[in-house]
Structure 1
Amino acid sequence: MLKVLMLPRDTDTRDLRQALWAHRIGHRFTEDEDGYTLWLADPAQFDELTHLLERWKRGDSLMPNGHAARAKLNDSSLLRPFALAPVTASLLAACMVVFALMWLLGDIVVAMLAIVPVAVSGGSLTLGTLADTFGSGQVWRVFSPALLHFGWMHLVFNLLWIWYFGRQIEELRGGKLILALSLVSAIAGNLAQYSTGTVLFGGMSGVVYALLGYVWLMSRQAPRSGFFVPQMLVVFMLGWMVFTMTDMAGLVGFGNVANEAHVGGLIVGLVWGWYDARRARRA
Structure 2
Amino acid sequence: MLIDYLIVTPVASVIFALTIGISIYVFSNPEWYGKLMLHPYSIYRDKSKAYMIFTSGLIHQDWMHLLFNMITFYYFGFALEALMVGLSGGLGHLYFAIIYIVGLILSDIPTILKEKNNYGYHSLGASGAVSAVLFSYILFNPKAELRIFMAIPMPAYLFAFLYLGYCIWASKKAQDNINHDAHLFGALTGLLLTILMYPWVIRHFIDQF
Alignment TM class, shorter chain as reference: 0.7 to 0.9
Cα deviation, residue 255, structure 1: 5.0
1:80-99 correspondence runs (5 A): 80-99=4-23
1:193 maps to: 111
Partners of 2:138 and 2:197 lie apart in 1 by: 12
Q: 1:238 to 1:232 in 2, by over 3 A?
A: same
Question: 5+ residue gaps in structure 2?
Answer: 85-91, 146-153, 204-209
Partners of 1:172 and 1:155 lie apart in 2 by: 25
- Structure showing greater Rg: 1
1:1-283 correspondence runs (5 A): 77=1, 79-107=3-31, 109-116=32-39, 128-132=42-46, 134=47, 137-173=48-84, 174-197=92-115, 199-219=121-141, 229-230=144-145, 232-246=155-169, 255-256=175-176, 257-278=178-199
**TM-score in terms of structure 1 length:** 0.56
After the TM superposition, list the runs of 4 or more consecutive aligned residues in structure 1 that deviate by more than 6 angstroms. none
CA contact (8 A) 2:133 2:190 kept: yes
Amino acid at match of 1:83: I
CA contact (8 A) 1:145 1:202 kept: yes
Cα deviation, residue 277, structure 1: 2.8
* Structure (1/2) with the larger strand percentage: 1
Partners of 2:125 and 2:42 lie apart in 1 by: 20
Matched residue count: 182
CA contact (8 A) 1:142 1:187 kept: yes
Partners of 1:186 and 1:177 lie apart in 2 by: 14
Mean CA deviation greater in 193-202 or 174-183:
193-202
CA contact (8 A) 1:244 1:255 kept: no
SS in 1 for 2:114: coil
Amino acid at match of 2:124: G
Cα deviation, residue 83, structure 1: 3.4
Amino acid at match of 1:157: F
**TM-score in terms of structure 2 length:** 0.74
CA contact (8 A) 2:195 2:201 kept: no
Amino acid at match of 2:97: L
* Structure (1/2) with the larger helix percentage: 2
Cα deviation, residue 237, structure 1: 4.4
SS in 2 for 1:128: helix
Partners of 2:4 and 2:135 lie apart in 1 by: 26
Amino acid at match of 2:78: R
Question: 5+ residue gaps in structure 1?
Answer: 1-76, 118-126, 221-227
Cα deviation, residue 139, structure 1: 3.3
CA contact (8 A) 2:42 2:49 kept: no
Q: 1:272 to 1:128 in 2, by over 3 A?
A: closer
User: What is the alpha-carbon root mean square deviation over aligned residues?
Assistant: 2.8
Partners of 2:30 and 2:202 lie apart in 1 by: 49
